[in-house]
A and B are shown apart, each in its own frame.
Chain A
Amino acid sequence: MTISNYHAITLIITSLGLGISSGASAAPPPGRLLASQCAQCHGTDGRAVGDMDSLRGESAGEIYDELQEMKYSAKTNDIMHRQAKGYTDQQLWLIATYYAGLSNRGGSGSNTAAGTGDHEEDDDD
């Protein structure tokens, strides 16, 4: 996947207006629900525990690139190949941009004052 592909997909998504935001102030950020489906294995808000890869601290391009690589890999005996196959490229880009957005804001995706512990170190593997 090349940079121009990212741009193409960004444009597509932008032009669709993301489809899920109705303009209400409480509209959830685009990609949040999709991205939360990664959390069972990669941690709440992408902060994994143990040896599992965290999704924090990576740019959208990096995450999207990895997902594309796994999705179109010839190595099919891989759990992430199967997972990535489950999503359209547009969905994968939404997931990537959501996690990158959390990293950029240094946020946790939490709306509670308690948050989810932003003192934790972002894991960039």
Chain B
Amino acid sequence: MNSISRRHFLKLAGATTALIAASPTLKAQALPGRVVVVGGGFGGATAAKYLRHWGGGGIAVTLVEMNPNHVSCILSNLVLNNSLSLPKITFNYEALKSKYGVTVVQGQAVGVSGKQLLLGSGSSLPFDRLIVAPGIDFDFQAIGVRDPANVLHAWKAGPQTLQLRDQLRNMTAGNSFVLTIPPAPYRCPPGPYERACLVADYLKKNKPGSKIIVLDANPGIVAEKETFTKAFTQTHLGVVEYHPGVVVTAVNALAKTITYTENGLSRTLTPAANQGKVGILNVLPPQTAGRLAFNLGLVPAGQKWAPVNALTYESAVVPGIHVIGDAQSTPKPNTGSGQPKSGHIANAEAKVCADAILRAFAGEGPDPAPMTNSSCYSPITASTASWLTATFAYDASNNATMVAVPASAGEASAPTSDNYEEMFDWAANLFADTFA
């Protein structure tokens, strides 16, 4: 691998619309199925695309999305250290429309009535099957946030990503960057540790005397444990201060104060010189399924995610509605690891779901042995990266769910510059498979 990769990536990412085939003509046929997909992230966009790609002109697919573009969380930590600009990871839905014949409606889904999806505009969309991919929502209450509107999480890429980048750029040298990590499961298991590494790398080069304080709600590093342990204790020694097993109890985002308990002791960090010199308070709140999943009754009382059938991603609560991506949860395996929440595997789940729906329209049952996989590259510095991968197989005898194939699960033995270049090839292909 060489430096061509990155140039390719930047060229490809910037020219998504140029990849679109010109002037498609779609066959007018009797429609055996109407599918409405809500949410245009990695899960929703992939489902809409593949339903048409595989199902052909006979399947009417409408994608409902609030925003005109999707800003990818994947690679977005590289915006923080100025390695990428936001437009390079921003994707529109033109290819889904022109190349695949997906109808795209910019709007907000507010409810379901019978076989109609109700939109905020007052109109409604009829469906035979509904797929919802609402992503995540934040539970600010769980960590005592006084002012949710002021919380800077940058865990949904977009304006907050730029805000965090600018705060980092403008932070006074010697001040601290405080990052909180929510209890698992949350979106992108290695993501917070990756962010800690990139911020540490940036601080070393640009903010002498500054450090990043990581307050992790989990008992230890959740993903790529060897890689990030080494990064925190060797590569970024003295710049990362890692605290596992932390319970955050109060946050004032505007004042940049945070109170937490660690080993039974309560401590408060503030911008004051003797209380941690907090310059940036980057809180990743505890997470739940996106609000729409709750509004549609897909999340049972007291739970946080929408349970689904692992063969079809059909809701375990409401028949005819499928949930894919971060918002869903396949059953927990009795032994072994289940699927994580990430854009890469949301794309994988979307294909399983699309295939199952097309088979259902044809009067068939789902593929009895679906596979998914989750792979990602995590930058450790501005020029090196690690990787993490696992393949998941359906196991009827293990709680009828997706289970990691043990031999397939692994992480890179060391962060390298080759991995850093391959990261852009991985991302460019994932972006293209989803949006182009």
Contacts and interface: CB of A to CB of B under 8 A. Distances in A.
A18 to B, nearest CB: 11
B375 A40 contact: yes
B100 interface: yes
B387 A49 contact: no
Contact of B362 (A26, A86, A110, A115): A26
A20 interface: yes
Interface stretch (A1-9, A76-84, A96-104): A76-84
A113 B121 CA distance: 32
Interface string A102-113: 000000011111
A116 interface: yes
B410 interface: yes
A111 B358 CA distance: 12
A41 B405 contact: no
Given A33-B351, A40-B344, A87 B53 contact: no
26 contacts: A20-B368, A22-B364, A22-B365, A26-B364, A28-B358, A28-B359, A32-B54, A37-B348, A37-B371, A44-B49, A49-B12, A49-B432, A50-B8, A50-B428, A51-B4, A52-B425, A52-B429, A77-B412, A81-B410, A82-B409, A86-B392, A86-B407, A87-B391, A112-B24, A112-B56, A115-B21
A8 B365 CA distance: 29
B391 A111 contact: no
Contacts of B405: 85-87
Interface string B122-142: 000000000000000000000
A26 B361 contact: yes
Contacts of A32: 54, 355
A74 interface: no
Contacts of B413: 77
A85 B370 CA distance: 16
Contacts of A111: 53-58
Contact of B408 (A83, A113, A114): A83
Contacts of B358: 26, 28
Contacts of A33: 351-352, 355, 367, 370-371
Given A51-B1, A116-B99, 18 more contacts: A24-B363, A24-B364, A33-B371, A37-B371, A49-B8, A50-B9, A50-B428, A51-B4, A82-B390, A82-B410, A86-B371, A86-B391, A86-B405, A112-B57, A114-B25, A114-B99, A116-B21, A117-B21
Contacts of B363: 24
B310 to A, nearest CB: 14
B54 A49 contact: no
Given A79-B387, A85-B391, A117-B99, A28 B426 contact: no
Contact of A40 (B27, B57, B409, B433): B433
A51 B2 CA distance: 9
A77 B418 CA distance: 13
Nearest to B363: A24
A107 B375 CA distance: 28
Given A28-B359, A32-B54, A33-B370, A40 B430 contact: yes
Closest 10 CB pairs of A and B: A86-B391, A111-B56, A114-B24, A86-B408, A26-B362, A50-B8, A85-B407, A117-B21, A77-B413, A86-B405
Given A27-B364, A28-B359, A83-B408, A42 B26 contact: no
Interface string A60-79: 00000000000000001101
